[in-house]
């Protein structure tokens, strides 16, 4: 799949197509909408160490760090927490493929939890407040209400793991639930508040990037109606239905670029981002109301499409008759995107 990778000489970010093999991770350039036949580079997994979550870059919270046995660092960015954890699990499995005992230990640690004796909840909260190494507080929007100084459920889970308070997401969720039960943190917004009513203790805290929390003693939310929210903010306030990397044809130069697509509902919008940029602002997007979406046949290049593309194309026509040509990595992925978009049109 597609992952942004940081360069070694020029420290910029380029999107590459990654293929995981038993002992190595290959990555390829995409030119003209098509993967080049020879890999651009390879990461040897023998003796490699993996850090996930990696929080070394504040603007890129979904990183995986690989350190080879020659001490070369590779930073790979994923599109979502779920994708990051899936890649990390598969890469970890490949690294330890020859050591089944270590793999069994990883699974045992993932599914068991015991609060370490030398860790106190007060100590965790004190470190969370630290201005340089603590949890990052941000403004967030939920159901038309603005909240100051909040953090997401998945951000807290990442922070707990990266600071060695937990070794798995299961442990971190358990710890976060304890912090909530002891009134160190509290849920804000619809999703996280509704979860606290669950009869299952393991589901009271959400390891989710849309569930909001804040310190219990923080100031109360500043609310405003949806009508008062700026239009650009309101169209980005919908629930994320699906996200992932796709290849999109440009409108003017007709060249193909990998973009991170985010599909939202209520309101229904499809936005796309440049994953090589530091800021998390969309470079384009459109309302899905009145759109038509359809798959394009792979035999030959359809009218309106330029270049010798890989295939798995689909087209979205907006109600203003703007045509978007998008390329998925497989027929299955194309079908999933079309199935997700259609109900929102």
* CATH class of the domain comprising 2-111: mainly beta
The architecture that CATH gives domain 233-342 is: Roll (2.30)
| 210 phi/psi in degrees, rounded to 5 | -110, 0
Contact 236, 269 (CB under 8 A): yes
The pLDDT of residue 142:
66
Range of lowest pLDDT (122-136, 312-326, 329-343)? 122-136
Determine contact, residues 193/212, Cβ cutoff 8 Å.
no
Q: What's the pLDDT score for residue 232?
A: 62
Sorted by where each begins, the domain ranges of the chain are 2-111, 121-215, 233-342
| Lowest mean per-residue pLDDT among 54-58, 164-168, 225-229 | 225-229
Can you tell me whether residue 94 is helix, strand or coil? Answer: helix
Phi-psi sector, 121: left (phi>0), alpha (psi -120 to 50), beta: alpha
How far is it, in rounded angstroms, from Cα 116 to Cα 304?
60
Contact predicate 290/270, CB 8 Å: no
User: pLDDT at position 147, please?
Assistant: 80
pLDDT, the chain, mean: 83
* Residue range 54-98, pLDDT digits in tens: 888 877 878 999 999 999 999 999 988 788 888 998 999 898 876
User: pLDDT tens, 246-258?
Assistant: 999 987 778 889 9
Beta-carbon contacts of residue 159 (< 8 Å; ≥ 6 apart): 55, 128, 134, 135, 151
Topology agreement, domain 2-111 and domain 233-342: yes
Confidence of residue 111 (pLDDT cuts 50, 70, 90): very low
* pLDDT (0 to 100) of residue 324: 94
What are 300-312's pLDDT values in tens digits? 667 778 776 778 8
153-162 vs 169-181: helix crossing angle, rounded to 10: 110
CATH T-level topology, domain 121-215: Arc Repressor Mutant, subunit A (1.10.10)
């Amino acid at each position: 799949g597609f992952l942004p990778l940081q360069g070694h000489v020029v420290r910029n970010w380029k999107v590459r197509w990654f293929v995981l093999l038993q002992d190595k991770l290959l990555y390829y350039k995409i030119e003209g909408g098509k993967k080049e036949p020879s890999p651009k580079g390879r990461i040897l997994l023998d003796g490699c160490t993996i850090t996930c979550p990696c929080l070394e870059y504040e603007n890129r919270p979904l990183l995986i760090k690989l350190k080879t046995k020659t001490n070369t660092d590779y930073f790979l960015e994923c599109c979502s927490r779920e994708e990051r954890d899936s890649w990390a699990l598969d890469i970890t499995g490949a690294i330890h493929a020859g050591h089944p005992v270590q793999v069994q230990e990883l699974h045992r640690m993932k599914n068991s939890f015991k609060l370490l004796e030398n860790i106190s909840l007060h100590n965790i909260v004190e470190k969370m407040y630290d201005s340089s190494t603590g949890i990052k507080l941000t403004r967030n929007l939920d159901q038309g209400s603005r909240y100051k100084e909040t953090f997401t459920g998945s951000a807290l889970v990442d922070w707990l793991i990266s600071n060695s308070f937990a070794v798995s997401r299961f442990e971190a969720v358990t710890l976060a639930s304890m912090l909530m039960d002891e009134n160190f943190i509290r849920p804000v917004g619809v999703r996280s508040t509704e979860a606290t009513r669950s009869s299952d203790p393991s589901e009271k805290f959400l390891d989710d990037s849309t569930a909001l929390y804040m310190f219990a003693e923080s100031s109360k939310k500043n609310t405003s109606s949806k009508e008062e929210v700026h239009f650009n903010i309101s169209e980005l306030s919908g629930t994320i239905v699906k996200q992932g990397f796709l290849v999109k044809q440009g409108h003017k130069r007709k060249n193909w670029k990998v973009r991170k697509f985010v599909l939202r509902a209520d309101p229904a919008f499809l936005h796309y981002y440049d994953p090589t940029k530091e800021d998390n602002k969309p470079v384009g997007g459109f309302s899905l109301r009145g759109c038509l979406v359809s798959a394009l046949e792979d035999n030959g290049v359809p009218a309106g499409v330029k270049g010798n593309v890989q295939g798995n194309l689909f087209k979205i026509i907006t109600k203003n008759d703007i045509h978007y040509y998008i390329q998925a990595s497989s027929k299955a992925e194309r079908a999933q995107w079309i199935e997700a978009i259609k109900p929102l049109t």
